[in-house]
Amino acid sequence: QVQLVESGGGLVQPGGSLRLSCAASGFPFSSYTMSWYRQAPGKERELVANITPGGNTNYADFVEGRFTISRDNGKNTVYLQMNSLKPEDTAVYYCRRPSFPTLWGQGTQVTVSS
């Protein structure tokens, strides 16, 4: 079955860290660019980071060096390490395969609050 399954979200205090995982199945994961997006309440979904098959990365400006996207092709998994979290990082985080036909995961909630 072709799917993406995110995990690792939760409640964390400001300044804390979380690592999100996205497990892919049903397609040749190592051949695809993968992305993380997020959607906060009342806001549009926005790109957080991309990683190419070769490991090249790019990030949204708001990341400001706090997040790191990585991948393990042997495990068909893409990660998002998030450090120095802020309340404004609160959102549902989604994994996406941008190439046609695009594929989205179900999302994982990240809440940053004291």
Chain segment 52-93, per-residue pLDDT in tens: 999 999 999 999 999 999 999 999 999 999 999 999 999 999
> SS3 for 67?
strand
Question: How far is the C-alpha of 9 from the C-alpha of 2, rounded, in Å?
Answer: 22
pLDDT value at residue 100 = 86
pLDDT of 10 higher than 90:
yes
Give the pLDDT confidence score for residue 66 in this predicted structure. 97
Nearest CA-CA partner of 87 in 40, 35, 47, 36: 40
Confidence band, pLDDT 50/70/90 cuts, at residue 113: very high
Average pLDDT for the chain: 97
